[in-house]
């Protein structure tokens, strides 16, 4: 992500520049220090925006994280298009894996999940973020249905959830390691479940 590139380009003048600078600083601070060490002071210093302005406009840490998540929701997710549902779902699961294994991304991704357990505002922002991701990834499933790889009436979001849920389960619940094998297996299981018709739209059969 090259978030700082957005600074100054957006319409809205000073207010928009301040917001972009603070959002970028929040992400950088999270990446370097993680959620528990994030402070309004740190974001203020890094962004060059006065601390009282940050408090007034964002309220505190949770408001900063919710706003950074909103920015992340607006970024397009590079949805794979490999020509097959099997390839697309594996690539999607590996994309999620990368978000939690790459040094630059992992602390930020982890911070979003952690902060949502503490703050209703962050939880709401996280819900919107994943709704956007489910929407974007739905095309993997609609293409697969169009190609005849998956049954009519397959629920796209449900296939996406199934393909990535085992990664999050290991990361945040059972606290087990994740790797490409785990990602591929989750994707393959989601595909098999969808092929068997277990991931249809609720009410459609």
Which residues are near a copy of itself by CB under 8 A?
A: 35-36, 110, 113-114, 116-118, 123-124, 126-127, 130-131, 134, 158, 161-162, 164-166, 168-170, 172-176, 181, 185, 188-193, 195-199, 202
Closer residue to a copy of itself in complex, CB, 57/130: 130
Give residue 4's Cα distance to chain centre.
19
* Separation of alpha carbons 132 and 58, rounded Å: 23
* CB of 205 vs a copy of itself, minimal distance in Å: 12
Q: In sequence order, which ranges of 75-119 are alpha helices (DSSP H)?
A: 85-101, 106-118
Query: DSSP label at 6?
Result: G
* CB of 61 vs a copy of itself, minimal distance in Å: 13
Q: Would you call 164 helix, strand, or coil by DSSP?
A: helix
Closer residue to a copy of itself in complex, CB, 56/173: 173
* CB of 88 vs a copy of itself, minimal distance in Å: 16
Give residue 42's Cα distance to chain centre.
24
* CB of 188 vs a copy of itself, minimal distance in Å: 4
Closer residue to a copy of itself in complex, CB, 80/99: 99
Closer residue to a copy of itself in complex, CB, 44/183: 183
Nearest to 194 by CA among 146, 165, 152: 152
59: which 2 tokens? 């309220």
């Amino acid at each position: 992500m090259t978030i700082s590139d957005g600074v100054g380009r957006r319409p809205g003048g000073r207010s928009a520049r301040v917001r972009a600078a603070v959002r970028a600083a929040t992400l950088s601070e999270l990446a370097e220090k993680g959620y528990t060490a994030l402070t309004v002071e740190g974001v203020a210093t890094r962004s060059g925006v006065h601390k009282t302005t940050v408090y007034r406009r964002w309220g505190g840490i949770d408001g900063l994280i919710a706003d950074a998540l909103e920015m992340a929701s607006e970024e397009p997710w590079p949805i794979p298009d490999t020509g097959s549902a099997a390839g697309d779902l594996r690539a999607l699961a590996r994309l999620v894996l990368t978000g939690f294994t790459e040094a630059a991304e992992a602390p930020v991704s982890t911070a979003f999940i952690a902060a949502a357990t503490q703050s209703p505002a962050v939880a709401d922002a996280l819900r919107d973020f994943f709704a956007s991701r489910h929407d974007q990834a739905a095309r993997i499933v609609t293409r697969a249905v169009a190609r005849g790889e998956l049954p009519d009436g397959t629920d796209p979001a449900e296939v996406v959830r199934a393909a990535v849920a085992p990664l999050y389960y290991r990361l945040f619940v059972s606290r087990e390691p994740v790797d490409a094998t785990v990602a591929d297996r989750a994707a393959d299981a989601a595909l098999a479940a969808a092929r068997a018709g277990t991931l249809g739209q609720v009410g459609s059969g």
